[in-house]
Structure 1
Amino acid sequence: MNFEHPLWVLFTSGTTGLPKAIVHSHGGITLESHKVSSLHMNISENSRVLFYTSTGWVAWNRLISTLITGASIVLVDGSALYPIHRLWDIAEKVGVTYFGMSTPYVLTMIKNKFEPCNLYSLDKLEAIGVTAAPLSPQGFEWLFKKVKQVWIESMSGGTEVFTDFVGGVPIQPVFAGEIQGRCLGASVYAYNEQGKPVVGEVGELVVTEPMPSMPIFFWGDVQFQKYKQSYFSKFPNVWTHGDLIEITQRGTCIIYGRSDATIKRKGVRIGVSEIYDIVESIEGVKESLAVGLEKEGDSIFVLFVVLNEGFVLEHLEEKIKKEIVTKISPRFVPDLVLQVSEIPKTLNGKKLEVPVKRILMGENAEKVVNKEALLNPESLEQFVKLSKLFT
């Protein structure tokens, strides 16, 4: 079989718009499966792997691909969160050695004050992998103190390449809130606006050399126009992934979220994950969504919040703003704080900052997001109604 022979079609999650239909090659996925499973996740024939994922997320394909090492995998049917301890029961019962999960899953455990260390021995557990969104230092702390003192592998990549750009390095130390390093064979850099690599600064996550698992084409994109526009339009011949990254002086990496979902005030921008860490740590705030809008040359920062039962925005708004002033900067105090019933999410739990921004600016919801790719499509209606405030 030819190296470039198509293997499958994977759909991106739809966090920035309509999902893209990605076609990967047999050869590229085989190489990446060996590399990422064996060298970055440290999985072997003695491993037993469980990953919190649906079959519609690339983490499912990653789980299946660990079979290439000779490992055993654990498949779970039904809800992973009902009851909330279900996956932990399974991990204990079958002796899971590598437990993969999403950042939203970790946050759900923290908000429910769930502490596995008091209920399970997890004596076989050797590593915990976390992806889907940046994991805060508080998330690392919960895993280390409330689960087990094992290796925590934070990682970030994309459905587009099946694999990680930055991820685990089993022989290096772990720093809370940081990813251990750039992955083997991934020429990852942080580029500033001038297209120059920077260290110790936040920039665009770019890949300057080809990776074997990059898409061979998008389904239906005969002339590669959508492919080129999506990833090669900002810097010539350089893959621009759309995430903000900092390569630290010690070689670790920090992901700050989508570059097109950042909040920019007076020439300074911030990743929305930093805002979420602050706001969602406030008692009474269940979830939040940060959106930056451009109107008549000005930028407007709108913060949407979902509150727990018994809490009212009138009593929390001032506290939210004070926490942002104290822990980030007065520059990033929201212009508006609005309460909503739900935050729109993809099937794998990612928030939809970019589609919501486009809806608020007056675009048709049907054209900016595929509702079948959403966990709660009905949640978009409230934002369609709120768009009248901004258009």
Structure 2
Amino acid sequence: MTEFREFVNTKHSLALGSYEELWQWSVTEVEKFWADVWHFTGMVSSQDYTEVLEDVPMSKIPKWFIGARLNYAENMLRFRDDRLAIITATEDGLGVQYTYAELYEQVRICTNALRKMGVKKDDVVAGYITNSAEAVIAMLATAAIGAIWSSCAPDLGPSGVIDRFGQIKPKVLFTVNAVLYNGKTYGHIEKVKAVVAGLPSLESVILINGAEFDFNISDVSNGVSYENFMATAWLSQEPLVFEQLPFSHPLFVLYSSGTTGKPKCIVHSGAGVLLQHKKEHIIHGGMTRDDVFFYYSTTSWMMWQWLVGGLSAGATIVTYDGSPFKSTATRLWDLADELKITHFGASAKYLQTVQELKQDPMNSHNLSSIKIIYSTGSPLHHEQYDFVYSNIKKDVLLGSITGGTDICSLFAGHQVEGAVHRGEIMCRCLGMSIESWDDNGKPVIGQPGDLVCTKPFPCMPVFFWDDESGEKYFNAYFANFENVWYHGDFMEVNPKTGGVVMLGRSDGTLKPSGVRFGSADLYNIMVAHFFSEVPDSLVVGQQYKNDERVIMFVKMAEGREFDADIEKRIKSKIRDELSARHVPAIILPVTDIPYTLTGKKVEIAVKKILKGETKLARTALANPNSLDLYIDLYNTKLNA
């Protein structure tokens, strides 16, 4: 960060002294800033740009770096030496490792094998695949060709995969024969067969040995083993040719959650994601070639792209497949020590579980290598900040980050020069002109409001799939405020620290008696004062007698019973700490809280249930049957 600020000051004869001054300049001088990021982070292109930003309104999705020709994979593979690029790990131990030179060779072979299969620019290649070296290789090979990549993790069922891939019609599918999770091996072939049957566009299915499990490859239509696929180009000396593409050329298709309807197919350019990730890793995170980067993620989550983005900094990335709590409950902390991980990432849900398990990594492990602990997926509660610094590591930067699938990157996050403040994300990211706006479209500081972005940024989606008119795209981001990106999160900016407090989703905010607040306010109280009795809870609003009432569902700790006493204490504490309007009208015990496969609480689906809607998509849920609990409660106790 210091080096970049000095770079900017020298180039533009400025005297920017603080992060806040640099951020303000970055969102005022948008074109100068992003051009500086391009040069400072060493973007590789065969043809230079002639114009940084197209002069059209933000809602028209302006093109960036017009005239440039480049390739995502070429940038990710610009280092071709003997430093480690990828270390693979599972529950059982470490797997294959590749240096940058070896990774380049693997991508060369895979790229040429795909070309022999007939894959060309703009074709779609999909992965129903684990977080593995093969997934990274297949994605980079796809990018080298100029084709489009999309992936889902094996924990997503066939109907969920078909709902997603069926829209984009992949030509080739990479998948696995089996998966190892929580100490057990699960055959994957029956799920693969169901997916293949539902995707008539497929011409080839490439099967990777994900775990030791017997199967007959002839059972899969157009199936070929990964080894035989790679062998078609193994002996060839054909060079790795990187298709040179415009900055806006599509590479990634990501998906909305699909918890309230058919998933939207969100298409990102490779170059936009690349530039943004280089900014976040190199400038914000201080990542260098000496660092080891781990993020616990599956290939369904945008954090997988963020993890792989560490290659653009020349760091070593660690892929992990399996449960984070097997073969030992401290598996990820074991890895951190074994591999000297410097940048360690997981979900807020993971850190919550570590706390629930009463783990104490500070005393059970060394962890001296860790410089940054990342957390995302949901807001990090105040007490989780305390837990990290008291039970995991004192001298660490706790980087709570927020962004999303919509931008495949961050709006707010970490920066290595600043101080961490309890309950806050450190800063608004450079170049991201985010503000908190009230219902009248006016910016507010120190007050809750909707997260908006007022200036264009390179990683805006280039389009939505099957949305030729652009109507779906416009309605998703620009229907609320003219030429201003509406993200759908509820937030607050601290005027003293510049930090960001995330308060939940805008469509999940609560508004009893006209007073609007986020569910995170109540979750913070529950974690701070009732965690040992109520380790998890869910809060939604329900329309009731021309107003909205707040309903809280509580999951009791093992051996604890919900009774009038705990109900009274919860309501009293919320009233004392917040206000009378924050107090739930009803508190009900449940045995399960619904979560997505990526660890996010599912408020909106429950809110829909409390409106009487019962036909909900469940394929993206980690515990889909949990919704039945809420349907029963609606029918028996909450039918307003």
TM-score interval for Structure 1 and Structure 2 normalised by the shorter chain? over 0.9
Aligned 8 A contact 1:15 1:350 in 2 = no
Q: Displacement of 1:235 after TM fit?
A: 0.8
Q: Displacement of 1:63 after TM fit?
A: 0.3
* Partner Cα distance (1:223, 1:374) in 2: 31
Q: State whether structure 2 residue 414 is matched by structure 1 residue 164.
A: no
* Partner Cα distance (1:219, 1:81) in 2: 37
* Partner Cα distance (1:303, 1:45) in 2: 47
Matching residue's letter, 1:348:
T
Aligned 8 A contact 1:305 1:338 in 2 = yes
Aligned 8 A contact 1:165 1:188 in 2 = yes
Could you list the per-position Cα deviations for residues 331-362 of structure 1 after superposition, in whole angstroms to 9, with x for gaps in the alignment? Answer: 21111111111111100110111111012201
Q: Displacement of 1:385 after TM fit?
A: 2.1
Could you list the per-position Cα deviations for residues 167-208 of structure 1 after superposition, in whole angstroms to 9, with x for gaps in the alignment? Answer: 112112211111111111111111111111111111110001
Q: Displacement of 1:276 after TM fit?
A: 1.1
Q: State whether structure 2 residue 578 is matched by structure 1 residue 328.
A: yes
* Partner Cα distance (1:220, 1:290) in 2: 35
Structure 1 residue ranges without an equivalent (≥5): none
Q: Displacement of 1:154 after TM fit?
A: 1.3
472, 477, 484: which one aligns with 1:226: 472
Matching residue's letter, 1:28:
G
Taking structure 2 as the reference length, the TM-score comes to 0.59
Matching residue's letter, 2:614:
N
461, 473, 485: which one aligns with 1:239: 485
119, 128, 144: which one aligns with 2:373: 128
Q: Flag the structure with larger Rg.
A: 2
Q: State whether structure 2 residue 560 is matched by structure 1 residue 311.
A: yes
Matching residue's letter, 2:382:
P
Q: Displacement of 1:15 after TM fit?
A: 5.8
| CA distance 1:220–1:387, shift in 2 (3 Å) | farther
Taking structure 1 as the reference length, the TM-score comes to 0.95
Q: State whether structure 2 residue 325 is matched by structure 1 residue 81.
A: yes
* Partner Cα distance (1:210, 1:47) in 2: 31
SS of the aligned residue for 2:398 comes to: strand
Matching residue's letter, 1:22:
I
* Partner Cα distance (1:36, 1:14) in 2: 28
Could you list the per-position Cα deviations for residues 115-173 of structure 1 after superposition, in whole angstroms to 9, with x for gaps in the alignment? Answer: 10111111211111111111122111111121112111111111110111011121122
SS of the aligned residue for 2:399 comes to: strand
Number of aligned positions between the proteins: 388
Aligned 8 A contact 1:41 1:153 in 2 = no
Matching residue's letter, 2:633:
L
What is the percentage of aligned positions where both structures have the same residue?
40
Aligned 8 A contact 1:52 1:100 in 2 = yes
360, 374, 396: which one aligns with 1:150: 396
Higher RCO, 1 vs 2 (CA within 8 Å, ≥6 residues apart): 1
Matching residue's letter, 2:541:
G
State the match for 2:505 in structure 1.
258
Aligned 8 A contact 1:15 1:351 in 2 = no
Q: Displacement of 1:20 after TM fit?
A: 2.2
* Partner Cα distance (1:187, 1:160) in 2: 16
Q: Displacement of 1:84 after TM fit?
A: 2.2
Could you list the per-position Cα deviations for residues 302-333 of structure 1 after superposition, in whole angstroms to 9, with x for gaps in the alignment? Answer: 10111122211114211211221122222211
Could you list the per-position Cα deviations for residues 11-58 of structure 1 after superposition, in whole angstroms to 9, with x for gaps in the alignment? Answer: 133466543211001221121121111112221111101112122111
State the match for 2:294 in structure 1.
50
318, 323, 336: which one aligns with 1:91: 336
Q: Displacement of 1:364 after TM fit?
A: 3.3
State the match for 2:270 in structure 1.
26
After superposition, residues 359-374 of structure 1 pair within 5 angstroms as 359-366=609-616, 370-374=617-621
357, 363, 368: which one aligns with 1:118: 363
SS of the aligned residue for 2:252 comes to: strand
525, 534, 537: which one aligns with 1:285: 534
Q: State whether structure 2 residue 544 is matched by structure 1 residue 299.
A: no
68-77 vs 17-26, greater mean Cα deviation? 17-26
Structure 2 residue ranges without an equivalent (≥5): 1-244
625, 629, 634: which one aligns with 1:378: 625
| CA distance 1:16–1:155, shift in 2 (3 Å) | farther
Matching residue's letter, 2:361:
P
After superposition, residues 187-202 of structure 1 pair within 5 angstroms as 187-202=433-448
Matching residue's letter, 1:308:
A
